Amino acid sequence: MLAKYVPILNWGRAYRRDQFGRDLIAAVIVTIMLIPQSLAYALLAGLPPEAGLYASILPLVAYAIFGSSTSLAVGPVAVVSLMTATAVGRLAAEGTADYASIAMVLALLSGGILTLMGLFRLGFVANFLSHPVIAGFITASGLIIATSQLGGLLGIPSRGHTMPDLLASIWENLARFNPYTLAVGATALAALAWIRLDMKRRLTAIGVPVAIATFMVRAGPVAVVLASIGASAVFGLGERGVALVGDVPQGLPLLAVPGISLELVTALIGPALIISIVGFVESISVAQTLAAKKRERIDPDQELIGLGAANVAAAIGSGYPVTGGFARSVVNHDAGAATPAAGAFTAIGIAVATLALTPFLALLPKATLAATIVVAVLSLVDLSILKKAFNYAMADFIAVATTLGVTLVFGVEMGISLGVAASILIFLYRTSRPHTAVVGRVPGSEHFRNVLRHSVETTPGILSLRVDESLYFANARFLEDCIYARVAEHPEIRHVVLMCPAVNAIDMSALESLEAINQRLGDLGIRFHLTEVKGPVMDRLEHSDFLDHLTGKVFLSQHAAIAELSGAGDV
Amino acid sequence: MLAKYVPILNWGRAYRRDQFGRDLIAAVIVTIMLIPQSLAYALLAGLPPEAGLYASILPLVAYAIFGSSTSLAVGPVAVVSLMTATAVGRLAAEGTADYASIAMVLALLSGGILTLMGLFRLGFVANFLSHPVIAGFITASGLIIATSQLGGLLGIPSRGHTMPDLLASIWENLARFNPYTLAVGATALAALAWIRLDMKRRLTAIGVPVAIATFMVRAGPVAVVLASIGASAVFGLGERGVALVGDVPQGLPLLAVPGISLELVTALIGPALIISIVGFVESISVAQTLAAKKRERIDPDQELIGLGAANVAAAIGSGYPVTGGFARSVVNHDAGAATPAAGAFTAIGIAVATLALTPFLALLPKATLAATIVVAVLSLVDLSILKKAFNYAMADFIAVATTLGVTLVFGVEMGISLGVAASILIFLYRTSRPHTAVVGRVPGSEHFRNVLRHSVETTPGILSLRVDESLYFANARFLEDCIYARVAEHPEIRHVVLMCPAVNAIDMSALESLEAINQRLGDLGIRFHLTEVKGPVMDRLEHSDFLDHLTGKVFLSQHAAIAELSGAGDV
């Protein structure tokens, strides 16, 4: 029973030496990748850089205990960092102790929400974030994050978490840019971009083995950080107006439960819910993709518990909201991680780095971290989704465009909320006006098809109508109008036959409409029949008195209905 | 073109003498019914009684010009009056000039919303109020209204627009009840109840013709009002602590546009939207029911414009939000109303009554009006809907119970909002976990049915799965899980055949899932096929590159798929 919720009790008992070796190698590689990222994302979240390191220690241990994915690398990620900055920025000023403490409360609430969702098996809620909404949201977030780092690259202040605010703020301060900062930022950006896009090819071209070249690409950003620190010391960049990270407390985070008030919970519960769901969706997609490659299965509800535990750990370990990172998990998987233990080993690596690195970090230019973020998030931006959605269906295009546009202009919370609302409303609108077709018999067969698409035979006096949707409150009146309009046009109709192969449910509102149709057609001397009603729908109708009042019959097939009604001689 | 939006230009040109006679008779009967109701509902809305009369003059003229129903009787109604009291009561104290002016602004906003909805043809929005939600809401409103009048019947103050508030307030003041008020209230209540339930039977039993008996039943409430005024004068009830209506300004309402501020609009726009939709739904249902009896058709979008005009007229004529009343419209129809002119004649009747009646109203005990309301609204209460919904389907029962319970405890706006939200969420939840069935061939036929419900033949190595729902974001991942689980259980499977007769749409998220399924099954050496894909869905798939990558084929019928795959010898 306990092992159901604590997967480590299962895989831990059978932990083998070969797994240990693979996990250790993966952990070393992920640690090297995570150090600059965690510093940079903390800055993006408006927190001191050490918060990023802290968020990469305890949460990883907690996930190793409660998580179910053998590949997922948990920690600070770009989109959740932006969402944290948006949510916390409303309540406190960046750089204050309050700000850091509110970020911990946000992690605590998010952890609580995720854990509860897992215990109540509410993982399915994530399904309501449609693919177009997620794609539009991630692309817009990437653009906002990249823009927000322009200030850091230029050495000017930039404020805001929406495109208009950021652009206005950058435009206002543009003239005051610092040339030394720009030099550091541009150099770091160029180096990181080259490492990411070109270095592996060059190294292998000169004979470096692929494995070593791959490792060097992953270690590259750490080298850029070290080089920046060196340059900062040699050229005295701090005295030339280049913003440096500054003193960072040495040592591991203190464990403490952040101070909570009802007021704070009320202000943060909405953002915490959105962060939880977005983080979960991002995490579960990569976890499932990687699990599929290993022929493993991920239990979404256990993942909720694992991520919930990680966020609670982030809260008590001076961190901020975390989730599974896409690129980092892929690296973890490629490096051979065999069990969640790889994450725990990464945590040890980060803890060691925290103790060893902090003295040097004071000299690190913030522009280097800004460059790290820009290179990382530009891979999130994928505007081709707009074209793809446009070609596929207008409904999907509206969902992408709404999410993308609203996120850029009004921010992440509004963007994801309106995106979800738009995709649900479009779905409801579509189902509220179902496709209907008058059908006739395909000559020489028992098949009935749309009279407009096929050359078919119809029987005068009988209206055969197929409705391609479940009947429920939103389309109940539509069906009434549809039938009345056709009956009014064709006064010769004596039988209306409703063909129901695509009707998967009939709710009470639709039942009322069917009763109204039956009665009104009856008043006009027209009999009302149903055909091809599915078992579960028929079961339901038998619980009502609809069938007692039906003027016509329920036929097993459309063919049986037409055969009997046209043969009965009363048409 | 103009005549499309102004129906009077059509029917007015052909207005005949016999229609005039019928409209006049209906107007007299409705006027007599409307006088006590309009006074009472104004009190229910927290307004002075003359506001009810004013709301029964200009709005009726406006509806006669712009409305399309020949039976609908527009004016103050119980549920909208309660909703007005709830909305305005948050912003001003009852009895103040501000209160009355805010009620006018509410009518103006509601009129604007209804008119815009009509012009943009948004009548379909009303379909999202499902039958269970409306039934639960009307029953709860009736209970709240009846309870709210207990104070008036007992002569004690009662406050609040929710059950807990009302009951607490009545309990608190119960000891201070006024015996004279109770005597008046109980007598009026008994008289009105008798008139409604028993008088017609008694009169016809002693030989009174049915038409005269029916007229006397409708005039009965006016007689009770006159008798109360008489008793009030004779016994000096005012001096004995019985609350009287008091001085009412004599004359017709002044025309004026109420004072509007952005702040007021922001505070009222939500309630105005809810009042508009609830009023529209109540109105359109009775209009359509009565139109059907006359073999007429109602255009919902024109009805929106008619009701919108009526509410704008209510705003500039010192009234408050109005809509078509159920009981009153039935009376109007039964009395023979032939055109919307009947409403205009009713307006003249109320205007005359306003000039003639107001001197007498000062002496009218408020308890009589409370009794009028109680008798009128108890017909709204129908708890049998709970049982009916429970027997039919759990989803409908949850929608009724949520709406009923939340309305009673938290008020009308919360009740209708959560009711709509609950019914939509239930629908989404249901469609997010579609019914799926493994199917096999019914022996000796080309029919494929559920293996659990029918004795059918299956082919080893082929999984034939039917999914009974459109594929969209909310169920895309469900389908993936469903297929992977079955494939994992049966390693002998070489072909997965998805049978799609009930799939009415495939959105982009579902397309991604199908691509993922196709690829993952491909990795396992399993081919993926589709059968019985509908025309419009196939059109859509052809716009994507899904079919290029599909490892299997798209078959016209399930039978064709099984015939080819089992005959191919590779299973």
Domain ranges, residue B509: 436-567
- Provide the total of helices (H) and of strands (E) in chain B, helices listed first: 26, 8
- Say what the pTM is: 0.83
Structure tokens at A499: 């063909």
| Whether B45 and B169 share a structural domain | yes
| Whether B226 and B353 share a structural domain | yes
Q: Per this entry, what is the length of chain B?
A: 571
Q: Give the tens place of pLDDT for each residue, A544-558.
A: 899 999 999 999 888
- Is B412 a member of any domain? no
CB B541 within 8 A of CB A506: no
| Whether B167 and B234 share a structural domain | yes
Our count of domains for chain A comes to 2
Q: Which residues of A72-102 are buried (b: 16+ CB within 10 A; e: fewer)?
A: bbbbbbbbbbbbbbbbbbebbeeeeeebbbb
CB A544 within 8 A of CB B387: no
| Whether A147 and A271 share a structural domain | yes
Nearest-Cα distance to chain A for B396, in Å, is 6
Nearest-Cα distance to chain A for B254, in Å, is 41
What is the predicted pLDDT for the residue at B1? 67
Last residue of a domain, one of B351, B383, B404: B404
Residue B132: list chain A partners with CB under 8 A: 508-509
| Whether A385 and A505 share a structural domain | no
Q: Which residue of A445, A468, A478, A537 to mutate against B (max B Cβ within 10 Å)?
A: A468
CB A154 within 8 A of CB A178: yes
**Minimum Cα–Cα distance from B477: chain A residue:** A127
CB A311 within 8 A of CB A108: yes
Nearest-Cα distance to chain A for B473, in Å, is 5
What is the predicted pLDDT for the residue at A455? 87
Residue B477: list chain A partners with CB under 8 A: 124, 127
pLDDT tens across the length of chain B (571 residues): 677 788 888 888 889 999 999 999 999 999 988 998 999 999 999 999 999 999 999 999 999 999 989 999 999 999 999 999 999 999 999 888 899 999 999 999 999 999 999 999 998 888 888 889 999 999 999 999 999 999 999 999 888 899 999 999 999 999 999 999 999 999 999 999 999 889 999 999 999 998 889 888 888 888 999 999 999 999 999 899 999 988 888 778 878 888 889 999 999 999 999 999 999 999 998 898 888 777 777 888 999 999 999 999 999 999 999 999 988 999 899 888 999 999 999 999 999 999 988 888 889 999 999 999 999 888 889 999 899 999 998 999 999 999 999 999 999 999 999 999 999 999 999 898 888 989 998 887 777 888 888 888 888 899 999 998 999 999 988 898 889 888 888 889 999 999 998 898 999 999 989 999 999 899 889 999 999 888 889 988 998 899 999 999 999 888 889 989 987 544 3
How many contacts does A have with B, using Cβ atoms within 8 A? 144
| Whether A370 and A465 share a structural domain | no
| Whether B350 and B495 share a structural domain | no
Q: Which residue in B481, B551, B556 sits closest to B513, CA to CA?
A: B481
Bridge partner list, A438: A465
CA distances from A20 to A66, A306, A377 (A): 18, 21, 32
Structure tokens at A333: 């998987």
Structure tokens at A423: 């995709």
CB B164 within 8 A of CB B185: no
Q: Which residue in A307, A442, A376 sits closest to A145, CA to CA?
A: A376
- Antiparallel, parallel or unpaired: β A554-555 and B448-450: unpaired
CB B461 within 8 A of CB B422: no
**Minimum Cα–Cα distance from A291: chain B residue:** B520
CA distances from B468 to A366, A499, B11 (A): 55, 15, 48
Q: Which residue of A288, A472, A517, A524 to mutate against B (max B Cβ within 10 Å)?
A: A472
- Is A452 a member of any domain? yes
How far is A61 from A27, CA to CA, in rounded Å? 12
| Whether A335 and A441 share a structural domain | no
Residue A511: list chain B partners with CB under 8 A: 392
Cα torsion A127, A130, A135, A138: sign: negative
| Whether B12 and B52 share a structural domain | yes
Residue B512: list chain A partners with CB under 8 A: 131
Residue B469: list chain A partners with CB under 8 A: 470, 504
Find the largest Cα–Cα distance for chain B. 103
Residue A340 neighbours by CB distance under 10 Å? 26
Nearest-Cα distance to chain B for A394, in Å, is 10
- Is A504 a member of any domain? yes
Structure tokens at B97: 């000039």
Q: Is A75 helix (H, G, I), strand (E, B) or coil?
A: strand
| Whether A548 and A457 share a structural domain | yes
**Environment class of residue B206 by beta-carbon count within 10 Å: exposed (0-12), middle (13-18) or buried (19+)?**
exposed
| Whether A399 and A446 share a structural domain | no
| Whether B142 and B73 share a structural domain | yes
Query: Torsion-angle region of residue A527: left (phi > 0), alpha (psi -120 to 50) or beta?
Result: beta
How far is A325 from B119, CA to CA, in rounded Å? 49
> For A508, which of B132, B430, B512 is closest by C-beta distance?
B132
> For A535, which of B124, B453, B472 is closest by C-beta distance?
B453
Contact A127 B424 (CB under 8 A): no
Q: At what angle do helices A17-44 and A78-89 cross, to 10 degrees?
A: 40
Residue B226 neighbours by CB distance under 10 Å? 15
- Is B214 a member of any domain? yes
- Is B420 a member of any domain? no
Nearest-Cα distance to chain B for A408, in Å, is 22
Triad A528, A534, A538: Cα angle to 5°: 65
CA distances from A96 to A58, A82, A156 (A): 23, 18, 20
How far is A351 from A354, CA to CA, in rounded Å? 5
Q: Is A54 helix (H, G, I), strand (E, B) or coil?
A: helix
Q: Per this entry, what is the length of chain A?
A: 571
- Antiparallel, parallel or unpaired: β B495-499 and B462-467: parallel
Nearest-Cα distance to chain A for B446, in Å, is 11
What is the predicted pLDDT for the residue at A1? 67
What is the predicted pLDDT for the residue at A571? 38
- Is A18 a member of any domain? yes
Residue B569 neighbours by CB distance under 10 Å? 6
Q: Which residue of B285, B390, B427 to mutate against A (max A Cβ within 10 Å)?
A: B427
**Minimum Cα–Cα distance from B133: chain A residue:** A509
- Is A425 a member of any domain? no
Q: Which residues of chain A have pLDDT under 70?
A: 1, 568-571
Find the largest Cα–Cα distance for chain A. 103
How far is B489 from B504, CA to CA, in rounded Å? 29
Last residue of a domain, one of A404, A427, A451: A404
- Is A324 a member of any domain? yes
Residue A128: list chain B partners with CB under 8 A: 428, 432, 473-474
> For B393, which of A473, A476, A508 is closest by C-beta distance?
A508
Contact A392 B508 (CB under 8 A): yes
Contact A396 B544 (CB under 8 A): no
Query: Torsion-angle region of residue B249: left (phi > 0), alpha (psi -120 to 50) or beta?
Result: beta
CB A232 within 8 A of CB A360: no
The CATH number of whichever domain residue A517 belongs to comes to: 3.30.750.24
How far is A87 from B94, CA to CA, in rounded Å? 40
Residue B251 neighbours by CB distance under 10 Å? 10
**Minimum Cα–Cα distance from B485: chain A residue:** A297
